[in-house]
Structure 1
Amino acid sequence: MARRLGTGSAVVVGLGSMIGAGVFAAFAPAAQAAGAGLLVGLAIAAVVAFCNATSSARLAALYPQSGGTYVYGKERLGPFWGYLAGWGFIVGKTASCAAMALTVAAYMLPGAERPVRAAVAVVVVVALTALNYRGIQKSAWVTRVIVVVTLVVLAFVVLAAFAGGTARVEHVVPLGDFSVSGVLQAAGLLFFAFAGYARIATLGEEVRDPERTIPRAIPIALGIALVVYAAVAVAALAALGPERLAAASDPLASAVGAGSWSWLTPVVRVGATVAAVGSLLALVLGVSRTTFAMARDGHLPATLSAVHPRFRVPHHAEVAVGVVVAILVSMVDLRGAIGFSSFAVLVYYAIANASAWTLRADEGRPPRVVPIVGLAGCLVLAVALPVGSVLAGSAVLLLGVGVWVVRRVVRDRRDRPGAGPA
């Protein structure tokens, strides 16, 4: 595929994936889990994300191909682990796409019934799939505009929360009752917000000078997102407190509306919509590229590996992902989708860290502590998620393992000497 993205555009793609999801979707369920320990959970999620980002950046520089950890696992650990990573990424991030589409509809039409919101979400998915179909450069420019708008709106949120007269320092200091398990669960849910930097790695075949661009773009995007998350989390906690934040369906709008700057609430709603659109745009982009890579290697139907002769994008994979997401938005719950996505993507990054552990010094190996902490952190946060998310995620991953086993049995029988059609 055509290499068109530089460092700035790659950073914007990563930010477009992270900021919309993190700020507008994950804080409320995380506050429900951690209570006064929300900021501790955010710090834990940031540490795990940093380790994952470092491991992914080193691997992406060595293997600048579409597919991300699907490629790294296959090359470093074996075909099964690459396949499992790719399967986890596709199912987890497809759930993320559905969550973001529902977030768009919820902020656009806060008082509408679910069927109306689902219909709006489907329209948004179709529109963004058409945009991606036309070529990645157009997607990158749209994402750039969306990220700028979102950052401006979030700056208004922070100012309004502290200038509106409702902010309380005691809300931010974690002195209340919270449990270790609740903090770890919150960290797992907040990891959903940090996972967007993977979009940069999955675009390995469309980035200029990937050996230099990807290792630069990933930590830059993650660092910017962390600063934004910390500022907004402190502002929302200070304005609402952990209990009201946990109960809010639109936490940032509620934080602004609680003070004297309530006139900014409609602006926040518009900003949330724009941010979620940006996140969805980059998510669909990344899922379609991993689908393309797995189809190219024979793990998914071959038609999904087709590249458009004019636009040079995997157009069949993009359309397939768009159709699946459009179906899911009428079937899933937003908070459940976040938990399910976090579980699958944490497994994906556990494989990335295991792959990074195998790197030699001459291959750009990170400090040994990085993949160790990243692998252990991913596994701990995955099992700390809500039970329903763990069970659903485990079931879907086992389904993927079953598909792998069946394919291997069929292929071995077909390739056996003397075997022929029945």
Structure 2
Amino acid sequence: MYDPDISLSPPLADGAPLATRRKPSLGLGALLAVAIGLVVSQGVMVLMLQGAGIAGLGFLIPLALAFLLALTYICSFSELALMIPRAGSLSSYTEVALGHFPAILATFSGYVVVAMFALSAELLLLDLIVGEVYPGLLPPMSVAFGVLVLFTLLNLLGIDIFARLQSVLALVMVVVLLALGLTAMTESGSQPALTQALTHDWNPLGAGVLTLVALAIWGFVGAEFVCPLVEEAREPERSIPWSMMLGAGVIFITIALYAIGALFYVPQDELAGAALPHYLFATALLGEGGKVFLVIAATAATCSTLNTSLAAIPRMLYGMAVNGQAFPQFKRLSQRTNTPWVAVLFVALITGAPVLLMGDRPDAINLLLLAAAIAWLLAYIICHLDVIALRRRYPELTRPFKTPFYPLPQLLGIAGMLVSIYYVSPAPEMTASIFTSAGLVLGLVALIAVLWIKLVMRKPLFTPEPLDQVLARK
């Protein structure tokens, strides 16, 4: 059985075993901050307002459906994380359920590729907002790269620094978004509210609003980033599932109030077509003071997302390296802080590369975010398949968390994710670019995975590893 008071970290870079076992330092509050902190990002602030602009109050329908889909993946990840409590997270679960190729594909598509797309979009958005509010103050891209370097250094210092930062950032971000939504809904902004804001047809799209579930689900992806931290969580049987469920609930309420509030102050067509709709909302609601307010919100959102990713994704790569599924250099740990420093630097590098290549381009942001959504949804489908496969292979195994009404959540989750991928593009002219970008990167990942498994690991692509061997790894 898993002992929550024992860290399962493997040897340090020089091959020597750890001299001591660190007591887990992350409680429910810190993990809740992680679940909220990665999800409510600037990308979410943009896409949710664009969805509200397209569908008006009817956007609450796909938002609620996306929330239910999020609960399905939360159930699957909770069951898997407590059954196989390893830093490798999805890679460790999938190699036991489906084999090494799906394990590598799922982890790289859902997290490493997403870091390339979504984190780059976050940094671009922050740079654009600062440039819009304070034109000419700083050179282009200086804010993006400055924040990336700062949080890379902070995460190299260790998990305790990460936890203290994340709790503060998540709290600031949620408070700011709730303040915007509630201020707008009480019509207490510095500018007059739109008198006709919510008086016309509340759902102009009719049944067509269901196609926006793919856009709405972006507001809920990422809560599972608590799972790679399972080895550093106190009382993981309680804190892992509850942090994700509570986080999803907080996110749903926050986004709903934020989106409804925006409809009071910004015309729908402007929200739908703007590259920076959160900028329009803040300035319409609060006037010039809204610009400063928005910079605070944008900074908190981007820093929170970046901070969570730089903590969780390197630990996934670390776990994959322990499993033999990634370069062994990712196993290198700092002797002072026990941080996977090579993996942290790698994630920082792939995050900064698209920013450097694309530069200050507002049109690139939605492309990056929606391409990331495809990769992430693919990972969720594999996660649901993992639960089904492991229930069949190990029916008698003790599971600290069992999905209620199994297998209904998994089947609904798979169907919902597939439909969301099909409708991921909100505009026909974007469809080809989104699927091409995602397809090229995922195709390259798949090719590398096949070569790695066959030539380096020398194992079959789809033969699952025995569970006892994975649990015995140190």
Query: Is the pair's TM-score, using the shorter chain for normalization, greater than 0.5?
Result: yes
Counterpart of 1:308 in 2: which secondary structure?
A: coil
Counterpart of 2:337 in 1: which secondary structure?
A: coil
Counterpart for residue 71 of structure 2: 50
Counterpart for residue 381 of structure 1: 420
Q: 1:212 and 2:205 equivalent?
A: no
Q: 1:194 and 2:220 equivalent?
A: yes
Distance 1:32 1:154 in 2: 17
Which structure 1 residue ranges, 5 or more long, are not aligned? Answer: 416-422
Contact 1:60 1:215 in 2 (8 A): no
Counterpart for residue 193 of structure 2: 166
Q: Match for 2:156 among 125, 133, 139? A: 133
Counterpart for residue 258 of structure 2: 232
Q: 1:7 and 2:44 equivalent?
A: no
Distance 2:340 2:442 in 1: 25
From the two aligned structures, give the one with the greater helix fraction: 1
Q: Match for 2:86 among 62, 65, 73? A: 65
Q: 1:150 and 2:187 equivalent?
A: no
Q: CA offsets per residue over residues 269-318 of structure 1, 9 Å max, x none?
A: 32222222111111222221222222222222211111111101111100
Give the AA of the match of 1:39.
L
Distance 1:142 1:35 in 2: 35
Aligned length: 412
Give the AA of the match of 1:157.
L
**Percent of aligned positions with the same letter in both sequences?**
24
Give the AA of the match of 2:450.
V
Residues 357 and 239 of structure 1: is their aligned pair in 2 closer, same or farther, counting only changes over 3 Å?
Answer: farther
Q: CA offsets per residue over residues 25-68 of structure 1, 9 Å max, x none?
A: 32244356656643333222212111111111111111121122
Distance 2:408 2:267 in 1: 36
Q: 1:94 and 2:116 equivalent?
A: yes
Contact 1:25 1:103 in 2 (8 A): no
Counterpart for residue 301 of structure 2: 275
Give the AA of the match of 2:271.
L
Residues 280 and 183 of structure 1: is their aligned pair in 2 closer, same or farther, counting only changes over 3 Å?
Answer: farther
Contact 1:96 1:337 in 2 (8 A): yes
Contact 1:18 1:195 in 2 (8 A): yes
Q: 1:340 and 2:377 equivalent?
A: no
Residues 30 and 286 of structure 1: is their aligned pair in 2 closer, same or farther, counting only changes over 3 Å?
Answer: farther
Counterpart of 2:193 in 1: which secondary structure?
A: coil
Deviation at 1:401, TM superposition (A): 1.7
Residues 413 and 81 of structure 1: is their aligned pair in 2 closer, same or farther, counting only changes over 3 Å?
Answer: closer
Q: Match for 1:103 among 104, 107, 125? A: 125
Q: TM-score, normalised by structure 1?
A: 0.89
Give the AA of the match of 1:267.
F
Deviates most, 160-169 or 243-252:
160-169
Contact 1:94 1:287 in 2 (8 A): no
Distance 1:413 1:234 in 2: 54
Residues 41 and 390 of structure 1: is their aligned pair in 2 closer, same or farther, counting only changes over 3 Å?
Answer: farther
Residues 178 and 390 of structure 1: is their aligned pair in 2 closer, same or farther, counting only changes over 3 Å?
Answer: farther
What root-mean-square deviation, in Å, do the aligned CA atoms of Structure 1 and Structure 2 show? 2.6
Distance 2:458 2:89 in 1: 31
1:352-367 matches, cutoff 5 A = 352-358=383-389, 359=391, 360=395, 362-363=398-399, 364-366=401-403, 367=405
Give the AA of the match of 1:166.
A
Counterpart for residue 402 of structure 1: 447
Contact 2:104 2:325 in 1 (8 A): yes
Deviates most, 394-403 or 134-143:
394-403
Counterpart of 2:87 in 1: which secondary structure?
A: coil
Residues 171 and 411 of structure 1: is their aligned pair in 2 closer, same or farther, counting only changes over 3 Å?
Answer: farther
Deviation at 1:120, TM superposition (A): 1.9
Residues 412 and 5 of structure 1: is their aligned pair in 2 closer, same or farther, counting only changes over 3 Å?
Answer: closer
Deviation at 1:372, TM superposition (A): 0.6
Counterpart for residue 344 of structure 2: 318
Residues 260 and 212 of structure 1: is their aligned pair in 2 closer, same or farther, counting only changes over 3 Å?
Answer: closer
Counterpart for residue 145 of structure 2: 122
Q: CA offsets per residue over residues 362-381 of structure 1, 9 Å max, x none?
A: 53431221011111111111
Distance 1:259 1:346 in 2: 34
Deviates most, 50-59 or 287-296:
287-296
Contact 1:24 1:250 in 2 (8 A): no
Give the AA of the match of 2:80.
L
Counterpart for residue 418 of structure 1: none
1:27-46 matches, cutoff 5 A = 27-31=48-52, 37-46=58-67
Contact 1:64 1:211 in 2 (8 A): no
Contact 1:34 1:41 in 2 (8 A): no
